[in-house]
Chains A and B, each alone.
Chain A
Amino acid sequence: MTELTEPLFKKAVVELLYQLADDDFILAYRGSEWLGLAPHIEEDVAFSSINQDTMGHAAMYYGLLEQLGEGDMDTLSHARGISERKNAVLLELPNGSGHYLKEPRYDWAFTVVRHFYYSHAKKVKLESLKHSSYEPLAHAAVKISMELYYHLMHWTVWFNQLMNAGGEAKRKMLEAISRVEQDFLDVCSLGPLSAEMASLKLIDGDDALMQAFHENMKPVFDALFIPYKGEFQQHSGKGRYGEHTQELHQALATLTEVYRTDPAAAW
């Protein structure tokens, strides 16, 4: 294992951990906004469980950052400013128009597609991380993969069923795919230190990850007789570089509300 005493190695590990932690953290939050609003009660139970797992994964990564002296995990998750956040912009976007407490006009197709694509990207990264030169991260990847297995299974069922449903469902799904692909490059990006991460063998490089992602996605589209373009952009900003939308600002204001009343409290 390369030593953490090497400043570049540590810098790259920390950068990668922030991306992984912030991605899971904000998507778990967006998912939890569906509580009580999911299409049916079984989905409410399943989606809540997935969000709880995903928040657990974020906590695991924040825990690794804590061990590296970045601060305690509650502070890392709740008190960091918007420009310090490294999550992909796609994951901070709201579930739809309206507010979860008042007229939530949420978009289930967008949610299914975002989670389906994200779970696939997460799997590709975790498979690579299982061989990471940073051993604690390799161990975390094994643990998280066991839970992601069920998430991916779940979103695959939804994705295929809605795509096969025809009519409005399929139209909305195709729209959601275009929308998600507009910002998916950011999800696949490893940001400013991607070359260093690859050369230090922390994780495979952007290109290898992207290729693995396409290889997993193409058969899904082939089976649905839908052409797979796999052309992604980062329309709304580069989250890995700290660029975010007002939506993240709003989300953080809501989710840190209780934390901010007493940052020292143990919950």
Chain B
Amino acid sequence: MTWYAGLSFEEKERIEKALQSVKDPEIDSISVLELGMVERAELCNGNLTLFLLPTFMGCPALDIIKSTILKAFTNIEGVKETNVLFIHHPPWTSDRISEKGKGKLKEFGIAPPMQKNDQTGEWQAACPYCDSFYTTLDNLFGPTACRSILYCKSCKNPFEAMKPVSTWM
């Protein structure tokens, strides 16, 4: 199901535009929509409720995201009041990041979530600078809960990648 199910075309367009303006406070190229954090939007008599999925539970950016959303919706036609609720079901998983979102992460110098190689069982990430797969994982845990630190042996740059999270874990 898409996040805008139940909204009219015009409502969806307006809400989508506002949500696109709400960026991850730590990666300002990608929006909460592209990150796959928006699960559902309900609009009833001008009252908008947005159901968001936190990426990682200890993420300190959640409060900032909430206040940025509230600001972004102060002057949207057809929306009188906005509520932001963080829910845990379904859980956010890294495959919710859209293709466009992955491109924007790369622009920022962050590789999209590492992929598991089916044959070797190893996690792989392409360097966001030179696209080489000749990379090594330096630290699973990075500067924020959702990122890992890697190193590209081709162009000799350190870089970050989104940490893959999935329900089989």
Contacts and interface: CB of A to CB of B under 8 A. Distances in A.
A125 to B, nearest CB: 16
Interface stretch (B7-15, B52-60, B75-83, B104-112): B52-60
B140 A147 contact: no
Contacts, number: 70
Contacts of A56: 56-59, 145
Interface residues of B, number: 23
Nearest to A154: B140
A46 B58 contact: no
A139 B56 contact: no
B165 interface: yes
A42 B138 CA distance: 8
Given A54-B58, A146-B165, A149-B169, A45 B141 contact: yes
B154 interface: no
Secondary structure call for the B interface: loop
A143 B141 contact: no
Interface stretch (B17-25, B40-48, B88-96): B88-96
B169 A53 contact: no
Given A139-B89, A139-B91, A147 B139 contact: no
A17 to B, nearest CB: 14
A42 B91 contact: no
Interface in A2-54: 42, 45-50, 52-54
B88 A140 contact: yes
Interface in A142-166: 142-150, 153-154
A53 B88 contact: no
Contacts of A140: 88
A54 to B, nearest CB: 7
A109 interface: no
Interface string B33-72: 0000000000000000000000011111000000000000
B89 to A, nearest CB: 4
**Interface size range on A against B:** 20 to 34
A45 B143 contact: yes
Contacts of B91: 139, 142-143, 146
Interface in A96-145: 136, 139-140, 142-145
Given A142-B167, A145-B169, A153 B140 contact: yes
Contacts of B144: 49
A74 B139 CA distance: 32
Contacts of A136: 88
Interface string B138-157: 11111111000100000000
A90 interface: no
